[in-house]
Chain A
Amino acid sequence: MKTYLYIFIFAILASCSKERPPHMAPSADSPDIFPDYTDVTIPAGIAPMNFNISGAGQVYVKVTGGIEGEMESFGEWADFNEKEWHLLTERNIGADLTFDVSVKDKNGHWKRYAPFVMHVSDIPLKDYGIVYRKIAPGYQTFSKTGIYQRELSSFEETAVLEETAVEGKCLNCHYSNRGRNDQFTLHIRGKNGGTILNSGSNLTYLNTKTPETAGNATYGYWHPDGRYIAFSVNKIVQNFYLDKEHNIEPWDVVSDIVVYDSETNRIITSPLVATPRCETTPAFSPDGKKIFFCLADSVSMPGDYRQLKYSLCSIDFDVKTESFGTRIDTLICADSIGKSISLPRPSYDGRFLMYNMTDHGTSPIHHADADLWIMDLSTGESRCLTEVNSDFSDAYHNWSPGGGWFLFNSKRRDGMYGNLYFSCIGTDGKATKPFMLPQRNPEQYYDEALHSFNAPDFITDKINLDMPHIRSMVKNNEIVNVSVKK
């Protein structure tokens, strides 16, 4: 409903403000645009990369394609026509778009800036969109939260499941099988809480806590065959810092790794990954034969929180025998680097493994020093993704099922509110300068937003949930208990 209202209002505003600047030579100054889209690489067909210029009365932008085509925008900010924009980006794949920006200040004086460019990548991003949780970056309570999906080619955002639908419940992360819209899990916490499992054919509400396991299923990752899901079962607590340099320190009292079999509704465990140590954030390798995860020795918490450092490990998993391997391989030892690793995410083509590194702990979104790192799985060599990292937390990364593109959450704008950024890794293994999720009026949107984008992922198609069914399952506690495979 809001969308229609916005369109109506924008249409009126847009029709009132078309003024071209007089002819003048460009200055040497670069325009101070928000978001910083200068020199970024974008996929063809992405939503218009609208931007604002601080203090501008009127903005005129002429975009010229390196191969062909051009378009203009007039208004209070650079607000491009969606159809024209798509056409222009499609026609200029592999080339640059040059942005010639002129700004009329509040006194009526025009200034033409030095042009800047965006590169249209030849690596396609074919996914329908992205899915994420919007939640205030709070502490112990939350107001309106929900899982939302956003079309990548437009500004359309729709709710997958909002807290209002299952009142009083906290909605947790959504995990899909390679971005599929019909295979995913999402957790609901609170009274009658559980895990919604859409297995492709069925919608089930699961109680993943069993007498034999340490807690509820938390961080999940699907096996490529769509039958198994690796979960960590965590009991998480948080401590709050007194000093201004830090904020929250979440940590696991207990965490183990299990694999859930959606066909038999059983959990597969192994004493190797259910130890007094902390095993967490599992992820299947693209061939499904291995689970990457993070492992830390138990330390006395919360006192020794700075000694809580996770190594990057892997363990085999055999779907035929439904069993874990017999040994844990340590890919990066926390002791050797003096850092802590979290959230391993292999690219679906098996080339890379992206993960987070922080000084200590297991929650990179709460650590300003959290950076994205990447491992070349063919050589085992890792490097810091300096080309995308910032001075603030960069975390919660995920790969596009199509390969190349990835997205992540970054608090680089203010250190507190996490926003979404996209980047792409080319054949040279380098990541492109990340760009912020486009919005129709970015400055207004991001200034007014009091939520973080949490746990984002790509989705190949739009998710449509059977809301009455979900409401009924949650309200009537139609929950299915999970058992442990003996």
Chain B
Amino acid sequence: MTRKNIFQYICPLLTFFGIWMFLWLMCPQYLLYHEQNQLFLFSGSYFTDSISVPGGMADYLSEFIVQFYYVPLYGAMLTAFVLTLSQVFSGLAFRRCDIAKTAFPLSAIAPLLYTGAMSDENILLSFAVAMALTTLFIYLATLPGNLSTLTCSITLITGFVILYWIAGPIAIAFVIAAAILHRRPKAVAICIPVAFIIVSAIHYTLFEQYPLSRMLKGLNYYRVPEIYPSILFVITGVISLLPLISLVKARPHRLLAYASEATVAIFAVIYIPLSFDKPKSDILAYDSLVRQQRWHDIIEKAQKENPTDLFSLQAVNLALGITGQLTEAMFRYNQNGVEGLIGKDRLDNTTQLVTAEALYHLGLTNIAFSTTFDLQESIMNDRKSGRLMKRMAECMIINGNYKVAAKYIGILRNSLFYAGWARRAETLLENDSAVNAHPVYGQLRRNAFCKEAFYDHTQIHKILAMLALGNGGNNYLAWQYFCAASMLGGDLATLIGIYNSSPGQYSKMPIPRHVQEAIAMYWTFSHPTFEGVPFPLSQDVKQQTAALAQAVMKNKNNPAAWQKAAPGTYGLYFINKSYYGNQPEPSIKYQPTHE
């Protein structure tokens, strides 16, 4: 096997396995995020809706693939395959030029750039599919051999129209690249204005409801309509201009081959990992763990690195709550107010995800439904979400609104990964006894808030108290959240008042460690010693609280000393908050939203 042949086989294989492993092992959370922002349906209307816009076939194919992101191993493999295809077609397109064959590894630049660009979770796979289709068209355009300028122009315009419809405006790269490969620069000068006129005509006649700029930038390459990241222009430029290497009149040279290999290697090793920023990856990772209900993994992750943003904190607190440790261990982590438990309204499709999960598990089904509904509606490219629609259906089943549940279940039945759940859920419709007997839905139905009242985030601890104490007081998660919200909000009077008067069956349980710390802290406000405290506080809590009080008195401006005296305690949180207020939230670029 000659060197060039080796390159032609090895390079695509390396690209394929490299991207596959990277996506699967290093960033499955990105794949899951994409998957939960669309809902591919095997239905005629979904297909016709998709392909009735420019680039629609690429959207359809990409959304077909993205549904497999539900299982990141498969999703990563299919994505790697699509990206490798664009490399293979690029390579095949300039197969006749010796120098180009030597520089074959450069054909991996566009796929690798795209892989790095995936760090922007709003760049859609549709662009990658459009890339593959474009490179296929470039390759097909090279098959006829030598063409005159006129024939070349006609071929390119015909190809452009077809490709524009199936893949979108990246089709312009086909025109440029194919003209270069045919060495017909005049064809570019003819075809680009004609292409613009064609796009304008399509816009004017069929798509007046979109701005022309979107017809030129692509309707669904990026999830947020008003934005078009420059990296997509760069990749389009690379695909367009890479064939320029076919014009180099140099003989194949081993040095050039090594140079091209080195370029690609540097790209792969440095550029891609550096593209992914850690805070965002962590947020998406926490969300994916919550989605998969991997509560112990969440706690393990937080133990390795204390979360700093509210979103991750909500995930950790939810995991602690579900595993029954919230009021025992929450202050080991950087707590930051009640929003670290349940977020206020932020109308985007990321930051309320964990809040929606917490509301659901707590039994605030109505609010969980409305939050989830809004999350789905805030998907910026107007897609629906399998994850969220399933949750909406669950809420409707719990609420006994079976007709709305049936609507969502009917839609989910046309999906691949939610169809099994939908079939099982269908048996619950109009069947109250089956729902009541269901281990999750039945319990959440029994936990439901029954009193006619409004949701008010500023009074969340009181709502949680009613939830915990209502329905026979069998909602320990709500009880933990009530205690936590009271402590985080500083309303110790309400917490101790309820503990003192009517904690229902929770009075039979030992007072959790952090609640003891809160009681101890509250007691020290008005008492010099712990003598006479009406709750059974552990000696350790008393000592730690006293030590903290002393540390604060002695070192008023030295938080490190406070930390040393009572690490991981409510007292420390309370003192820090009293002196410095809530910690500023780290700067995170939240998703834009429809409002």
B292-322 to A contact mask, C-beta < 8 Å, 1/0: 0000000000000000000000000000000
**Within A137-159, which residues are at the interface with B (CB < 8 Å)?**
138-144, 146, 159
Say yes or no: B453 contacts A242, CB within 8 Å. yes
Q: Does B364 contact A (CB under 8 A)?
A: yes
Residues of B with C-beta under 8 A to A2: 48-49, 52
Q: Which residue of B lies closest to A8 (CB)?
A: B48
Q: What is the interface residue range for chain A against chain B?
A: 35 or more
- State which of A168, A248, A417, A444 has its C-beta within 8 Å of the C-beta of B226: A168
A471 sits at the interface (CB 8 A) = yes
Partner-binding segment picked from A74-82, A94-102, A408-416? A408-416
Asked if B492 CB lies within 8 Å of chain A CBs, one says: no
Count chain B residues whose beta carbon lies closer than 8 angstroms to a beta carbon of A. 54
**Is the pair B211, A471 in contact by a Cβ cutoff of 8 Å?**
yes
Known: A448-B45, A448-B411. A143 touches B453 (CB 8 A): no
CB distance B209 to A146 under 8 Å? yes
Taking a contact as CB atoms under 8 Å apart, the answer to whether A244 and B448 are in contact is yes
A164 and B48 form a contact (CB under 8 A): no
The minimal Cβ–Cβ distance linking B312 to chain A, given in whole angstroms, is 23
A242, B211: Cβ atoms under 8 Å?
Answer: no
Q: Does any Cβ of B come within 8 Å of A25's Cβ?
A: no
Closest to A3 in B: B52
Query: Do A164 and B210 touch (CB < 8 A)?
Result: yes
Chain B residues, Cβ within 8 Å of A140: 345, 347, 374, 595
* Residue B410 interfacial (CB < 8 Å): yes
B397 to chain A, nearest CB (A): 11
Q: Which residues of B contact A248 (CB under 8 A)?
A: 370
Contact among A159, A239, A243, A247 with B209 in the assembled complex (CB-CB below 8 Å): A159
Q: Which of B48, B226, B594 has the most CB of A within 10 A?
A: B594
Task: Say yes or no: is B463 at the interface (Cβ < 8 Å to chain A).
Answer: yes
Cβ-based interface call for A9 (8 A): yes
Q: Within 8 Å CB of A467, what residues of B?
A: 208-209
Q: Does B450 contact A (CB under 8 A)?
A: yes
Residue A87, interface by CB 8 Å? no
Residue among A9, A143, A162 with max Cβ neighbours from chain B (10 Å): A143
8 Å CB interface, A111-162 against B? 136, 138-144, 146, 159, 161-162
Q: Is the interface of B mostly helix, strand, loop or mixed?
A: loop
Docked-complex contact B226 and A167, CB < 8 angstroms: yes
B402's nearest neighbour on chain A, judged by CB, is: A414
Q: Does B524 contact A (CB under 8 A)?
A: no
Q: Which residue of A lies closest to B206 (CB)?
A: A1
By the criterion CB–CB under 8 Å, are B52 and A414 in contact?
Answer: no
Instruction: State whether A9 and B209 are in contact (beta carbons under 8 Å apart), knowing that A141-B378, A240-B370 are contacts in the complex.
Output: no
CA distance A416 to B403 in the complex (A): 9
**1/0 contact string of A238-269 vs chain B (CB within 8 Å):** 01111111111100000000000000000000
Whether the pair A165, B400 counts as a contact (CB closer than 8 A) is no
> Would you call A243 and B403 a contact (CB within 8 A)?
no
Check: A5 CB closer than 8 A to any chain B CB: yes
Asked whether any CB of chain A lies closer than 8 Å to the CB of B198, the reply is no
Taking CB atoms, residues of chain A closer than 8 Å to B455 are: 239-242
**Is A239 within 8 A of B48, CB to CB?**
no
* A450 in contact (CB, < 8 A): yes
Is B420 part of the contact surface with A, judged by Cβ < 8 Å?
A: no
- Compute how far the CA of A467 lies from the CA of B401 in the bound complex, rounded to whole angstroms: 41
Per a CB cutoff under 8 Å, which of A168, A242, A246 touches B364? A242
The answer to whether A224 has its CB under 8 Å from any CB of chain B is no
Flag whether A302 is at the interface (Cβ < 8 A): yes
Complex CA distance for A416 and B407, rounded to whole angstroms: 11
Shortest C-beta distance, A238 to chain B (Å), equals: 10
Q: Which residues of A contact B594 (CB under 8 A)?
A: 141-143, 163, 168, 170
Contact assessment for B209 and A244 in the assembled complex, using a CB-CB cutoff below 8 Å: no
CB distance from A354 to the nearest CB of B (A): 27
Is B407 in contact with A447, judged by CB distance below 8 angstroms? yes
Tell me the minimal C-beta distance from A364 to chain B in angstroms. Answer: 18
CB distance from B208 to the nearest CB of A (A): 4
Q: Which residues of chain B have C-beta atoms less than 8 A from A143's C-beta?
A: 376-379, 382-383, 594
| Contact across chains for B403 and A9 when beta carbons are under 8 A apart | no
Q: Name the B residues within 8 Å of A450 (CB-CB).
A: 384, 411
Complex interface: chain A residues within 8 A of B382 (CB): 143-144
In the docked arrangement, what's the CA distance between A91 and B365, Å? 54
Find out whether the CB atom of A243 lies under 8 angstroms from the CB atom of B452: yes
Please indicate the chain A residues that have their CB under 8 angstroms from the CB of B211 in the complex.
165, 167, 471
Complex Cα spacing A281 to B242, Å:
63
**Any A CB within 8 A of the CB of B127:** no
3 tightest CB-CB pairs across the interface, nearest first?
A: A414-B403, A144-B382, A244-B399
**20 further contact pairs, Cβ within 8 A, besides A164-B210, A168-B592:** A2-B49, A2-B52, A140-B345, A140-B347, A141-B593, A143-B376, A143-B378, A143-B383, A164-B225, A168-B225, A190-B595, A239-B455, A243-B449, A244-B448, A305-B454, A414-B407, A415-B401, A416-B401, A417-B404, A448-B411
Which A residues form the contact surface with B (CB < 8 A)?
1-2, 5-6, 9, 136, 138-144, 146, 159, 161-165, 167-168, 170, 190, 239-249, 302, 305, 413-417, 444, 447-448, 450, 467, 471
Q: Identify 29 residue pairs between A and B in the complex whose beta-carbon atoms are under 8 Å apart, listed by A's number.
A: A2-B48, A2-B49, A5-B48, A162-B209, A165-B209, A167-B226, A168-B592, A239-B454, A240-B366, A240-B367, A240-B370, A241-B366, A241-B452, A241-B453, A242-B451, A242-B452, A242-B453, A243-B449, A244-B401, A246-B452, A247-B366, A247-B370, A248-B370, A413-B403, A414-B401, A414-B404, A414-B406, A416-B401, A450-B384
